[in-house]
Amino acid sequence: PYVIAQPCVDVKDKACVDECPVDCIYEGKRSLYINPNECVDCGACEPVCPTEAIFYEDDLPDEWAWYKDAAVSFFDEV
Ligand code: SF4
Query: Quick one: pLDDT at residue 77?
Result: 73
Query: Quick one: pLDDT at residue 78?
Result: 57
**Which stretches of 1-78 are DSSP H helices?**
15-19, 67-77
For ligand 1, the distance from its centroid to the CA atom of residue 40, given in whole angstroms, is 6
Nearest to 55 by CA among 65, 11, 38: 65
**7: how many CB neighbours lie within 10 A of its CB?**
16
pLDDT in tens, the chain (78 residues): 999 999 999 999 999 999 999 999 999 999 999 999 999 999 999 999 999 999 999 999 999 999 999 999 999 975
For ligand 1, the distance from its centroid to the CA atom of residue 4, given in whole angstroms, is 10
Ligand 1 pocket, residues with Cβ under 6 angstroms: 2, 19-20, 22, 24-25, 34, 39-45
Distance CA 6, CA 3 (A): 10
